[in-house]
Structure 1
């Protein structure tokens, strides 16, 4: 396996080739291996890279070297001088010292090195320094209007927002900067910038619980779906969360499940865990019960235990168990920012309990309903039953004089439209998955040219057709 220094050299050469060939879509190759460079490259190696790559008259060179010098070396990165010569670590270090990087005056290379400096500052927990440096790099990116710089600039804004969210005093203070950057990206047709900045703005709004502003932003903007799958997955999650708070549970659940399907299945466990927590609550609010297989997935089982207990309480319609689960796991629910949505489930628990009671008893007193559902008074039980009958949750009649509720005969479900609606829902889901798969298909540029014939082939074909037509005409003349 190649060292971080050699990976860095390879990435810099790829950037040079891609920019010179004007093939910005190939820049994603650089960021696929950047994680290896970011995790293994030391501050000393990065300082050496900056000195070798950037010219002395580069206006950002001194700034990069200043911030790199603030990073204290990690003791684990020190090489044992008494180590045996056969030690592979020593050999790698000796080989790297003989590998030199080429000079470059490209702004893309400069910003790429700046991104590595930012990652080391964040890794070293240098909050104020990371905020100041990301702000300087952001301003530096704004001085250029190059499509090959768009991907690097989007990463800079991601680090900029993350540094202020984690270490800043006021996360909302950067919102005007993000709004201006998003408007500029729209005017420049910078799709990756639009996608990244829109997600950063939505995250900023949701962090401050400004759901109305976030909803207005979503309704007045268009997300470029094809530019980045990772950004599109985040966007679907944010939109699903906004719809859930806005009581639009059907659209919210659709967006959340689409986000789960599009998210990487072998990585991003934390993201999938967060989406599943919200999706479970939304599904319960819709009156449906999540499948048990959701709670048994690897990496999610422990985190979803409170939500499994909550699901069982809602499924049984036991209000007392629901209150117990809510009290025991209140801190976890508040940390997940699902506590407000879970409070709405109280009505669903009561409806489920009423539905079971209505099926089990042909006639039951309000005092017994009050005991079964753990309600305060029989009057509250009567009001709840009246609301459920009006909403169509149960089919019953209230006898206020005698103080009971009398159920009507259960109608055969197969006589109703429910089976048809269930099949329609499944068919719609399958068609949506098919349409998304078709839209997500990618073809290499110029692939259609394989099916096109060249000029020589066309002349040869036309010549053969003329000869064949002449032969047919001669045969017809001989026949006559």
Structure 2
């Protein structure tokens, strides 16, 4: 007994951890077996599960682990093995011995499944991007796309969609996004002909991102309107599509549709995808301001967004007050932030809304006011402020922004008495819009319901039922956490 105790005391911490916790390489081998099972059974859900597990191991990937896994999954000496091994740098021999020692007992398969081969491409590509070796990532992604083009298997669709994303991302990181636009269009055509709907929606979003990156909004709208319609299969891709659609609608002055798309994208986005949600909220705030609405204060106080939305909060305050001077100050103060967010163009449009809000406040406060005083209160800095004030007031009256009349002879703006708003149709329209919003949300929730395939047709045993329940729990956890790797 004393000898046993002494032997346990002399165990190093690393040895005790290695005995209890499986290594990263062992986890990758288990993922490879999941992919093989899913490929043989043609179950896409298993391959999706393998990708989720891989993203959880992403931070633990090292060159030695990937080299050992390539030796395990691919045939040593083959073209694929040689190509992928060339992208992985060589590390210390000690690490290689530790990792390869576990893989000596298992000989590589004589015939490598295409799904496993594409998974190896994806694994190496993730490693290169995380190591900031973007030029090597470009070469690896190009080689992987060339290989995917030659394969037509529905079990590859999930893996291929991830490769499409990182293919575009690697070129974006090096500033060469325009080079692959033609290739993305060709891939989208191939995915359409093969009825690869997940690939279609991924490539459509990548093409929209490509066009919007270079401010080609007209081309993006033409592509979006001509692209085939299909039911969304990925919540992340659908959120991206709504965001890009909202940006296009905003630039095209279709603010009502843009607001709906942006708010829906922010609502559907995973909670952990904070950067994406912040970007959606920034654009949604500006669109609401352009519509003449003032966002609620709680919009700017969302958890983790206060600092990022601070410039837009001050901008909203300036628009709400209708102070043109304060609006100029805020625009100059946060010019760098607005430029980085690429919202400068929208803020220039907001100037007219600031003037209109100030004019509305003046109309409510005064039953009659001269145009000279209107120009002073609005702080117009043009050569002829009185004439500008008159034209602004005339346009506001014509658009229905203020309920007043213009006395050109005396140079007055005469406001009409405020009537009872409940005698108009405005409350009915507001109530109708809320009902439509709730019904739309309910219909989307019903369409998003997921059920295991054919569970009502088969009588399953206890073991099979336990396995199905475990898969359902994993799927429910995935939906709840909304894996946000792509964001």
TM-score interval for Structure 1 and Structure 2 normalised by the shorter chain = 0.7 to 0.9
Number of residues of Structure 1 aligned to a counterpart in Structure 2 = 432
> In the TM superposition, what is the alpha-carbon distance from 1:124 to its structure 2 partner?
2.1
Match of 2:102 in 1: 98
Q: Is the 8 A contact 1:225 1:232 kept in 2?
A: no
Greater CA radius of gyration, 1 or 2? Answer: 1
Residue pairs, 1:387-406, within 5 angstroms: 387-406=395-414
Runs of 5+ in structure 1 lacking a partner? Answer: 80-92, 452-480
User: Is the alpha carbon distance of 1:101 and 1:251 closer, same or farther for their aligned partners in structure 2, counting shifts above 3 Å?
Assistant: farther
Q: Runs of 5+ in structure 2 lacking a partner? A: 1-20, 460-487
Matched, 1:162 2:169: yes
Alignment partner of 1:297 is 2:302: yes
For 1:58 and 1:433, the matched residues in 2 are separated by 52
Query: 2:418 matched to 1:410?
Result: yes
Determine the C-alpha separation between the residues in 2 that align with 1:35 and 1:444: 24
Conserved? CA contact 2:68–2:99, under 8 Å: no
Q: 2:252 aligns with which of 242, 246, 249?
A: 246
CA distance in 2 between partners of 1:201 and 1:387 (Å): 40
Identify which of 163, 173, 181 aligns with 1:175. 181
Q: Which moved more, 1:438-447 or 1:204-213?
A: 438-447
1:54 aligns with 2:74: yes
Tell me whether 250-259 or 303-312 shows the greater mean CA deviation: 250-259
1:447 partner SS: coil
Quote the offset at 1:103 in angstroms.
2.3
- Cα displacement (A) at 1:403: 1.3
SS at match of 2:456: helix
Closer, same or farther: CA 401–30 of 1 in aligned 2, 3 Å: same
1:205 aligns with 2:225: no
Aligned to 1:449: 457
Distance in 1 (CA, whole Å) between partners of 2:160 and 2:167 is 10
- Cα deviation, 1:3-38, whole Å, max 9, x if unaligned, reads 322221111000010001111233110111112322
Match of 2:30 among 10, 14, 17: 10
Aligned residue in 1 for 2:293:
288
Q: CA deviation at 1:94?
A: 6.2
TM-score (structure 1 length as normaliser): 0.86
Does the C-alpha gap of structure 1 residues 178 and 417 become closer, same or farther in structure 2, counting only changes over 3 Å?
Answer: same
What TM-score comes out, normalization by structure 2 length? 0.85
| SS across alignment from 1:375 | coil
**1:83-122 paired onto structure 2 within 5 Å:** 97-98=101-102, 103-104=108-109, 105-122=112-129
Aligned counterparts of 1:118 and 1:415: Cα–Cα separation in 2 = 64
Does the CA-based 8 Å contact 1:9-1:101 persist in structure 2? no
Q: C-alpha root-mean-square deviation of aligned residues, in Å?
A: 1.9
Is 1:382 the counterpart of 2:382? The answer is no
Match of 1:398, SS state, is strand
Query: What is the correspondence of 1:459-474 to structure 2 with a 5 Å cutoff?
Result: none
1:56, distance to aligned residue in structure 2 (A): 2.9
Structure possessing the higher relative contact order (Cα contacts under 8 Å, 6 or more residues apart)? 2
2:348 maps to 1:343: yes
Name the SS of the counterpart of 2:342 in structure 1.
Answer: coil
**Compared CA separation, residues 95 and 416, structure 1 to 2 (3 A):** same
Q: Distance in 2 between matches of 1:226 and 1:380?
A: 50
Q: Which of these residues, 445, 448, 453, is aligned with residue 440 of structure 1?
A: 448
Answer whether contact 1:4 1:36 (CA < 8 A) is retained: no
Deviations along 1:74-122, whole A, 9 cap, x unmatched? xxx998xxxxxxxxxxxxx969843555524111111111111112212
Pairwise CA distance, 1:224: 3.6
TM-superposed CA distance for 1:422, in Å, is: 0.7
Equivalent residues of 2:263, 2:284 under 8 A apart: yes
Deviations 1:151-178 (A, max 9, x none): 111111211111111114x321110000
Determine if contact 2:65/2:99 at 8 Å carries over to the other structure.
no
The answer (yes or no) to whether the contact 2:24–2:65 under 8 Å persists in 1 is no
The question of whether the paired residues in 2 share the 8 Å contact of 1:226 and 1:440 is answered with no
In structure 2, relative to structure 1, the CA distance for the partners of 1:185 and 1:41 (3 Å cut) is same
1:470 maps to: none
Question: How far apart, CA to CA, are the structure 1 residues paired with 2:117 and 2:365?
Answer: 72
The whole-number CA distance in structure 2 between the counterparts of 1:408 and 1:382 is: 17
Instruction: Say if 1:196 and 1:231, in contact at 8 Å, map to a contact too.
Output: yes
In the TM superposition, residue 437 of structure 1 has moved relative to its aligned partner by 0.7
- CA 167–366 in structure 1, closer or farther in 2 if over 3 Å, else same: same
